[in-house]
Amino acid sequence: MVVAGAVGHAHARQPISERERVFERFYRILGHNEPGCGLGLAIVAECARGLDASLRLSEGAHGRGLRVEVRLAACPASG
């Protein structure tokens, strides 16, 4: 069984050629004036590596922004 979650950001215009850079620490889109320091997705990527999860980037809803999907294998219930 796989557990998946996704989040999107409709305001950030991320060039396709630079999409993977969102996982770099302190990376910010040039001209992007929203608050933050560029650590959010870097932390997500580090957690995903530790959990053996996969990350997938795609275009956001209605062709705007960025969508990030996290997929990880569900642990069997213990009891």
pTM, two decimals, is 0.76
6-18: pLDDT as tens digits: 888 766 667 778 8
Residue 17 inside a domain? The answer is yes
Q: What is the pLDDT of residue 12?
A: 62
User: Per-residue confidence at 71, pLDDT binned at 50, 70, 90?
Assistant: very high
Q: What sign does the CA torsion over 37, 40, 41, 44 have?
A: positive
| Domain containing residue 30 | 2-73
CATH number of the domain within which 51 lies? 3.30.565.10
Instruction: Name which of 51, 48, 46, 52 is nearest 6 in CA terms.
Output: 48
Count of domains for the chain: 1
Q: What is the pLDDT of residue 60?
A: 82
Length of the chain measured in residues? 79
